[in-house]
Amino acid sequence: MAEAQQLSQAAYDRLKTEHDDLTTRGRIDIARKIEAARELGDLSENGDYHAAKEEQGKMEGRIIHLARILEDAVIVESEGGGDTVGTGAIVSIVFEGDDEVEKYLVGSIEEQRDDVTVVSPGSPMGAALLGAAVGDTVEYEAPTGATLAIKVVEIE
């Protein structure tokens, strides 16, 4: 069994809508494209046909991916806005030796938004941030083996 994905209700609803759209309208549209390309003649040299089949393969892969996420999803209430960093929180941090404030959302990549970078709670950085409060400095080991220190400056 796959590891459960922790999703907000909004992310779950968005993924469910995308899955439903791809399995209905998406499949119908791609079938029409393939049929139209078949009518153009010789399939061995038909670029439209091969492009439509490739698009179909990518779409089916996305459908399978979404189905697996939705099947194992656990809806969680955002723990953001509290006194400590939790799943769903948007945290502003400063790396030691740097002055630039960076924002991260601690959660699933499926929660991704344009204005913040997502960090998984299971990643070294995400795990170090969980439970930290504003003003705390936490350390974690980066994939390169270096130990990095970050200071929490705000929790949303």
Distance CA 31, CA 54 (A): 12
What are the Cα distances from residue 69, in Å, to 22, 58, 88, 110? 15, 17, 17, 9
Q: Could you tell me if residue 82 is inside a domain?
A: no
pLDDT of residue 33: 93
Structural domain boundaries enclosing 32 = 5-75
Note the pLDDT tens digit of each residue in 120-138. 888 999 999 999 999 999 9
Residue count of the chain, please give it. 156
pLDDT band at 78 (very low <50, low <70, confident <90, very high): low
Q: Are residues 71 and 94 in the same domain?
A: no
Tell me the average pLDDT across 85-114: 87
Q: Are residues 139 and 98 in the same domain?
A: yes
Q: What DSSP string describes 127-147?
A: HHHTT-BTT-EEEEE-TTS-E
Q: Are residues 70 and 96 in the same domain?
A: no
Q: Could you tell me if residue 84 is inside a domain?
A: no
pLDDT of residue 2: 60
Dig out the tokens for 93 from the structure. 């941090």
What CATH number has the domain bearing residue 30? 1.10.287.180
pLDDT band at 139 (very low <50, low <70, confident <90, very high): very high
Distance CA 15, CA 109 (A): 12
Q: With pLDDT > 90 as the criterion, what percentage of the chain qualifies?
A: 57
Q: Are residues 19 and 53 in the same domain?
A: yes
Q: Are residues 39 and 69 in the same domain?
A: yes
Note the pLDDT tens digit of each residue in 23-68. 999 999 999 999 998 888 888 888 889 999 999 999 999 999 999 9
Q: Could you tell me if residue 85 is inside a domain?
A: no
Residue where one domain finishes, among candidates 50, 75, 100: 75
Do residues 123 and 138 make contact, with C-beta atoms less than 8 angstroms apart?
A: no
Q: Could you tell me if residue 138 is inside a domain?
A: yes
Q: How many domains is the chain partitioned into structurally?
A: 2
Q: Identify the three-state secondary structure at position 51.
A: helix
Rounded to the nearest integer, the mean pLDDT of the chain is 88
